[in-house]
Amino acid sequence: MKKISELPDLMVELLEAVDDANGVPKFPKRATEIVKEISAWAQTTNFYTDFAKDFRDFWAEGTPPEEIWMFMLQKIIHAPTVAHRDLSVIGHMPALEKALAAQRRCRVCGCTERNACPGGCHWVEWDLCSECAGKEGGGAHG
Ligand SMILES: [Zn+2]
Ligand SMILES: [Zn+2]
């Protein structure tokens, strides 16, 4: 089980993993893994379970993950205290995970229908784009 003290490190890793080179965040493989990890942990906290309904109702069905992420970043940047920052992350990470799960996205680079690779790409599989086809390396299947 994660401890709250591990959250800042995970968030730093997540901030580095999210690709926002073109101004619109992309969630490559590693970023979605960290989101899942933080989300799973967040849902075990008393803070989340106490306010779970409020957090679920906060986001309309179908809100894109990019929007939730940008909102969370603003909350993090403008948090008056460390506690406020951590609680924003705990509160909204499960919504981000859910939104990511609902989005068609390249499992490697994180590009989407509306946010393609530089130079353009197309789907070669449900969750794999033409830029990343054959680049996956190291068969992690099993
Ligand atoms: Zn890709
Ligand atoms: Zn692509």
Q: Are 89 and 76 in contact (CB under 8 A)?
A: yes
- Render pLDDT for 96-122 as a digit per residue (tens, 0 to 9): 999 999 999 999 999 999 999 999 999
The whole-chain average pLDDT of the chain stands at 92
pLDDT at 136: 74
Tell me the pTM: 0.90
What is the DSSP secondary structure assignment for residue 107, as one 8-state letter? T
Ligand nearest to the Cα of 118, by number = 2
Domain range summary for the chain, segments of one domain joined by +:
4-103, 108-135
pLDDT at 142: 40
Does residue 138 have a pLDDT over 70?
A: no
Ligand nearest to the Cα of 127, by number = 1
Q: Are 65 and 100 in contact (CB under 8 A)?
A: yes
pLDDT at 1: 57
Ligand nearest to the Cα of 116, by number = 2
Q: 94 alpha carbon to ligand 2 midpoint, in Å?
A: 25
Q: 121 alpha carbon to ligand 2 midpoint, in Å?
A: 5
